Copies of this chain bind each other. A is one copy, B any other.
Amino acid sequence: MQIAELAMAYAQSRELSERLCEPLAVEDYVVQSMPDASPTRWHLAHTTWFFETFVLARCETDYRPFNSHYQVLFNSYYNRVGEQFPRSRRGLLTRPTVADVFAYRHAVDERMAHLFGRRTSDESREAARIVELGINHEQQHQELMLTDIKHLFWCNPLWPAYCKWSAHPKTTSRGSLRDPQPPHWTGFDGGIVEIGHAKEAFAFDNEGPRHQVLLQPFHIQQRLVTTGEFLAFMNDGGYRRPELWLSLGWSTVCEQKWTAPLYWIEQDGQWQQFTLHGLRPVQQAEPVCHVSYFEADAFARWSGARLPTEAEWEEAASHIQPETAPHHDHFHPQPVSDDSARLAQLYGEVWQWTASPYTPYPGYVPAAGPLGEYNGKFMCNQYVLRGSSCATPAGHTRPTYRNFFPHDARWQFTEIRLARDPV
């Protein structure tokens, strides 16, 4: 990327984070609703800390930290950078205030602008790579800002809406609220295929190296599982039949008393779901959402199918370009469409659980230095998700992208696409 282009991407990304905050009251920035989620003000500050720590501190000749406390307060998990304020206590901090955090952002933006204005050099090419990483990092946090605020609002019996509902913009052309047709299966031949990122453009280190894998022939569903299909699972006793679940999944169902996806509640015999647009009746034609790996796996078993591996998913998705149109006008998946002749809903609706534990690709080596902690050290007890969601920023989507969450996580926009062996 050229510097000018990079500066533009930086500015757009930084602006988007702040635009996403517009519907919030000051109070909403502060609270941490569970250890897995972070307060909005922390996301805003941490993404800024990233640029300050990994770009400004390296490239500014007379670098001084904006505030030496922030180096600890807003360090997420980089042990090689230094001490971190404990993750589970992020919601105890009311200072620096939200206004202070915005001031921090703007000061760093100004210093970044100054850097962008400097002449290119070898050193700055390395810096440019880190800036690009920082932009992608902030995009990840933009999605988390939305999922975390959704969880926070869910904890409030007033069920505040983050923003108004507008009819799904593409409902007329691509979907409808009528019950969709049964899904088609698309077959693939298997054999030796290549997966992973070849690094001709930006990608996270965990997407590479590109390498060969051997696939057996497989089938994959053309569209996502709908809420209506998931209700059939529920009505068939899905949450009460241990034989459908992994052992650990069944313990979780019992301990957490799960009876439906997260954010569903029954009111007067009707299922409602809490969305960023407030409480809405469950729509059968919409993709089911906010299910854990355990629920995705149990649903697949109940269906006589299975989840795809990440290699299968990537192979199936490999010839379909992610749509690039920005879409930050709705934060809920849109109804399933019947008329697609090809794999649909890969991107921009909901992340899709795969059957693959999150492990390093053959030959994977984390970057040297603290940035090596970005991805590699989390390769344990997590499962890979593929695609992208309605909360993923435009431009942050590609076939090789590896998202990952633990098996019981439900507060992300997570969903099911089925696969099976040929019959």
A155's contact among B28, B89, B155, B356, by CB below 8 Å, is which? B89
B379 and A94 form a contact (CB under 8 A): no
What 0/1 pattern do residues 260 to 296 of A give for CB contact below 8 A with B? 0000000000000000000000000000000000000
- A33 and B92 in contact, given A72-B157, A421-B363 (Cβ under 8 angstroms): yes
Q: Which of A8-16, A199-207, A208-216 contacts B (4 or more CB under 8 A)?
A: A208-216
What 0/1 pattern do residues 108 to 152 of A give for CB contact below 8 A with B? 000000000000000000000000000000000000000000001
Roughly how many angstroms separate A379 CA and B245 CA in the complex, as a whole number? 11
B92 and A152 form a contact (CB under 8 A): yes
B380 and A249 form a contact (CB under 8 A): yes
B92 and A156 form a contact (CB under 8 A): yes
Q: Which of A44-52, A73-81, A169-177, A220-228 contacts B (4 or more CB under 8 A)?
A: A73-81
B211 and A212 form a contact (CB under 8 A): no
Chain B residue at smallest Cβ distance from A99: B25
Interface size on A, residues (CB 8 A): 59
B91 and A27 form a contact (CB under 8 A): no
- A25 and B97 in contact, given A31-B31, A249-B380 (Cβ under 8 angstroms): yes
- A95 and B377 in contact, given A80-B243, A216-B211 (Cβ under 8 angstroms): no
Find residues 211-248 in chain A having any chain B CB closer than 8 Å to their own CB: 211-214, 216, 242-243, 245-248
- A157 and B97 in contact, given A31-B30, A214-B214 (Cβ under 8 angstroms): no
Roughly how many angstroms separate A233 CA and B260 CA in the complex, as a whole number? 38
Q: Does A403 contact B (CB under 8 A)?
A: no
Find residues 351-387 in chain A having any chain B CB closer than 8 Å to their own CB: 355-357, 359, 362-363, 373, 377-381
A363's contact among B79, B98, B216, by CB below 8 Å, is which? B216
User: Which of A242, A357, A380 has the most chain B CB atoms closer than 10 A to its own CB?
Assistant: A380
- A156 and B248 in contact, given A27-B27, A363-B421 (Cβ under 8 angstroms): no
- A214 and B216 in contact, given A93-B156, A97-B25, A157-B69 (Cβ under 8 angstroms): no
Q: Does A4 contact B (CB under 8 A)?
A: no
A73 and B157 form a contact (CB under 8 A): yes
- A69 and B216 in contact, given A27-B94, A91-B91 (Cβ under 8 angstroms): no
A94 and B381 form a contact (CB under 8 A): no
Roughly how many angstroms separate A369 CA and B413 CA in the complex, as a whole number? 35
Roughly how many angstroms separate A157 CA and B249 CA in the complex, as a whole number? 27
Report A's interface with B, CB cutoff 8 A: 25-31, 33, 41, 69, 72-73, 77, 79-80, 85, 89, 91-98, 152, 155-158, 160, 192, 211-214, 216, 242-243, 245-250, 355-357, 359, 362-363, 373, 377-381, 407, 421
Given A27-B27, A27-B30, A93-B156, 6 other A-B residues pairs in contact with their CB atoms under 8 A: A30-B30, A92-B156, A93-B155, A94-B152, A216-B363, A247-B377
4 tightest Cβ-Cβ pairs between the two chains A and B: A357-B357, A27-B94, A79-B242, A214-B214
| 26 residue pairs bridging A and B, Cβ less than 8 Å apart | A25-B94, A25-B95, A27-B95, A27-B98, A28-B94, A31-B92, A33-B92, A79-B243, A92-B152, A92-B155, A93-B155, A93-B156, A95-B160, A192-B214, A213-B214, A214-B214, A243-B373, A245-B377, A246-B379, A246-B380, A247-B378, A248-B378, A248-B380, A249-B380, A355-B359, A380-B407
